[in-house]
Amino acid sequence: MHVADIDLQGFLEVHAKATIEARNNACPALAVWRQDIGPFDPAGLLRPLFERSTRTFVWVSPQTSVMAMGSATDFTHVGRDRFAGIRRGWEKTARTAVAGGPGARGVPAMVGGFAFAPRPGSLPEALMWVPRVLITQEDGRATLALSVCVDPRGTTPDGPARTVADATTLLAAAGVRPCPSPQLAGTNLVEIPSASEWKALVAHTVEQIRRGRFDKAVLARQLRVSSPCGYDLASVMGTLLDTQPGSTAFAVAAYGQAFVGATPERLVSLRGGRAESMSLAASMPRGATPAEDVCLRAALMEDDKSRREQKIVTATLRRAFEEVCDTVTVPDEPHVLDLPNLRHLHSRIVGEVADPESASVLDLVERLHPTPAVGGQPRRASLEWLGEAEPFDRGWYAGPVGWMNDEQEGDFAVAIRSAHLDEGTATLYAGCGIVAGSDPDAELEETRLKFRPMLNALAVPLSERAPYRRAECKDLD
Ligand SMILES: C=C(O[C@@H]1C=C(C(=O)O)C=C[C@H]1O)C(=O)O
């Protein structure tokens, strides 16, 4: 799950296929490997390029940058039909070329030029070539193409390993990462359920509440994002630490996958016989201006639906604490917990466990999970509904993540604002508590707001859409 290097293995496989092609046709065959790379500054590549190669090509237009090193195969042609001659040569080569890799198709492949007149000079009158290392950038997407020409006798002067080594040094010298933070267009983002399905599901859930099936259910959505090169866990976590102060950042990397996040929610801690949990529920965005922020804060505190939503969580936690604690302290009024991009109602729940000697934080975890902040109320009916309604398995999302010591004490967080990373796919999760009066449009916006910090950590470009606004605070200043 680290930043992958250039995929030599993939290139070698393509090379092996090209070798068979060359032997079968008794003529050279081109092996081409393409993969995406991080965005680059063409100016920064100039020096490493010219210092490392005597055959180079540079072409930087406002739309496209093409930077190339070495030649896998040259095309030259003498005489008046030089353009057609080069074209024939290229067509023949392209027919037997074997290309592979996850990089973009249709990127530049051959570079070069022609003399003014079809006459021999110090440079050939026609010279085009397929570079060994070709770096292009177009429409915000940067690609690396590596080419090797395979001889029918099976000898390859510039083999894949050398080409990969050259490209690696070149990119490193220019500070370009072989595997980028994802260069994503909107089409790479898939919401499950889709926006319209989600709104229908929220409405359907409100209907179940109206019929008395349960009082609250916390419905979740997925957002799947893909990156051709996987994710750099260190930078994902680094960004979460930077941008989500006050939350608990976590990463569980095992079995070739990772589950990461930054959650504001503590499930339970047990230290020195004192158990602590929090009732966290109801959401409101941060304001775009200080005045709007103050207004939204007050709107959250005064919102009847939000208060009901949070009360359900508080009451359940209090009951669970009372079963194992001598004293339980819960404030009369909730506080507002401000996060960088949204805020919630929050109450701290503290209890002194009745039997500290035999108490275990895992016993508390078992009693509390899932709280109505991520499941619902009543527990069984709401979880049954989630099982029917959510079109995916939650995996570790909203589960307990934490640690404990040899005295059975420890701390567990509720793993929300999280994502599961597997190879090149990140699956993000966001949930919303649905109660009587929940509005499908507002719940949709809320999930999108909750996805944002993780999208940002995954370096997915965020569209500059304004966060959702509450009507009562819209017209301030
Ligand atoms: C379920 C999530 O968050 C929970 C649900 C909230 C809500 O319904 O407003 C608020 C805070 C969290 O307890 C999530 O972020 O995925």
Give residue-wise pLDDT tens across range 206-261: 999 999 999 999 999 999 988 766 777 878 888 898 999 989 999 888 888 889 99
Counting ligand 1 atoms within 8 A of each CB, the residue from 248, 374, 417, 470 with the most, and so the one to mutate, is: 374
Are the beta carbons of 183 and 141 closer than 8 angstroms? yes
What is the distance between the alpha carbons of residues 319 and 3, in angstroms, rounded to a whole number?
A: 47
pLDDT grade for 439, boundaries at 50, 70 and 90 = very high
What is the distance between the alpha carbons of residues 175 and 44, in angstroms, rounded to a whole number?
A: 8
Residue at 1 is within a domain: no
User: For 332-341, what is each residue's pLDDT tens digit?
Assistant: 999 999 999 9
Q: Which of 21, 265, 390, 409 is catalytic?
A: 265
Could you tell me if the CB of 265 is within 6 A of ligand 1?
yes
Q: What end-to-end distance do the CA atoms of the chain give, in Å?
A: 47
pLDDT at residue 2 tops 60: no
Do 259 and 341 belong to one domain? yes
Could you identify the residue written with the tokens 């995916």?
392
**What does the pLDDT read at residue 186?**
35
407 part of the active site: no
Do 242 and 362 belong to one domain? yes
Do 358 and 272 belong to one domain? yes
**What does the pLDDT read at residue 185?**
34
265 part of the active site: yes
Do 166 and 232 belong to one domain? no
**What does the pLDDT read at residue 109?**
87
Residue at 180 is within a domain: no
pLDDT grade for 140, boundaries at 50, 70 and 90 = confident
Nearest-atom number in ligand 1 for the CA of 434 is 8
Residue at 212 is within a domain: yes
Q: Among positive and negative, which fits the CA dihedral 71, 72, 78, 84?
A: negative
Do 302 and 412 belong to one domain? yes
Can you give the pTM of this predicted structure? Answer: 0.68
pLDDT at residue 465 tops 70: no
Give the other-Cβ count within 10 Å of 471's Cβ. 7
Residue at 261 is within a domain: yes
**What does the pLDDT read at residue 269?**
93
Please give the backbone phi and psi of residue 149, each rounded to the nearest 5 degrees, phi first. -95, 120
**What does the pLDDT read at residue 476?**
63
Do 158 and 192 belong to one domain? no
Domain end point (choices 173, 204, 222): 173
Do 168 and 202 belong to one domain? no
Are the beta carbons of 293 and 358 closer than 8 angstroms? no
CA atoms within 13 A on the CB side of 438: 32
Three-state DSSP class for 400? strand
User: For 16-35, what is each residue's pLDDT tens digit?
Assistant: 999 999 999 999 999 999 99
Three-state DSSP class for 324? helix
Do 15 and 83 belong to one domain? yes
Residue at 178 is within a domain: no
What is the distance between the alpha carbons of residues 170 and 40, in angstroms, rounded to a whole number?
A: 12
Please give the backbone phi and psi of residue 6, each rounded to the nearest 5 degrees, phi first. -65, 140
> What spacing in Å lies between the alpha carbon of 255 and ligand 1's midpoint?
28
What is this model's ipTM?
0.98
Residue at 2 is within a domain: no
**What does the pLDDT read at residue 65?**
87
Do 114 and 23 belong to one domain? yes
User: For 69-97, what is each residue's pLDDT tens digit?
Assistant: 999 999 999 988 999 999 999 999 988 89
pLDDT at residue 200 tops 90: yes
What is the distance between the alpha carbons of residues 469 and 283, in angstroms, rounded to a whole number?
A: 12
pLDDT grade for 53, boundaries at 50, 70 and 90 = confident
Q: How far is CA 47 from CA 16, 41, 110, 150, 172, in A?
A: 33, 12, 22, 30, 12
Within 8 A by CB and 6+ apart from 427, the residues are: 222, 223, 224, 225, 395, 419, 420, 421
Within 8 A by CB and 6+ apart from 321, the residues are: 275, 277, 328, 349, 351
**What does the pLDDT read at residue 386?**
97
Lowest mean pLDDT among 175-179, 361-365, 434-438, 466-470: 466-470
pLDDT at residue 355 tops 80: yes
> Which whole number is the average pLDDT over 132-160?
85
Do 150 and 210 belong to one domain? no
Domain end point (choices 118, 141, 173): 173
User: For 274-285, what is each residue's pLDDT tens digit?
Assistant: 999 999 999 999
Could you tell me if the CB of 141 is within 6 A of ligand 1?
no
**What does the pLDDT read at residue 435?**
96
Residue at 98 is within a domain: yes
Could you tell me if the CB of 431 is within 6 A of ligand 1?
yes
**What does the pLDDT read at residue 54?**
84
Q: In this prediction, what percent of the chain has a pLDDT beyond 70?
A: 92
**What does the pLDDT read at residue 427?**
95
**What does the pLDDT read at residue 3?**
33
Do 387 and 466 belong to one domain? yes
> What spacing in Å lies between the alpha carbon of 378 and ligand 1's midpoint?
17
Q: What is the number of domains present in the chain?
A: 2
Residue at 3 is within a domain: no
462 vs 439, residue with greater confidence: 439
> What spacing in Å lies between the alpha carbon of 283 and ligand 1's midpoint?
7
Helix axes 233-243, 440-457, angle to 10 degrees: 120
What is the distance between the alpha carbons of residues 71 and 74, in angstroms, rounded to a whole number?
A: 7
Do 102 and 190 belong to one domain? no
> What spacing in Å lies between the alpha carbon of 431 and ligand 1's midpoint?
5
Could you tell me if the CB of 417 is within 6 A of ligand 1?
yes
Are the beta carbons of 449 and 342 closer than 8 angstroms? yes
What is the distance between the alpha carbons of residues 259 and 250, in angstroms, rounded to a whole number?
A: 8
pLDDT at residue 188 tops 80: no
User: For 403-418, what is each residue's pLDDT tens digit?
Assistant: 988 888 989 999 999 9
Tell me how far apart the 2 most distant CA atoms of the chain are, in Å: 99
Domain end point (choices 173, 205, 223): 173
> What spacing in Å lies between the alpha carbon of 432 and ligand 1's midpoint?
5
pLDDT at residue 105 tops 80: no
**What does the pLDDT read at residue 341?**
92
pLDDT at residue 467 tops 90: no
**What does the pLDDT read at residue 398?**
95
Domain with 405 in it: what CATH number?
A: 3.60.120.10
Could you tell me if the CB of 450 is within 6 A of ligand 1?
yes
Residue among 99, 102, 132 nearest 37 (CA): 102
| Domain residue limits at 63 | 8-173
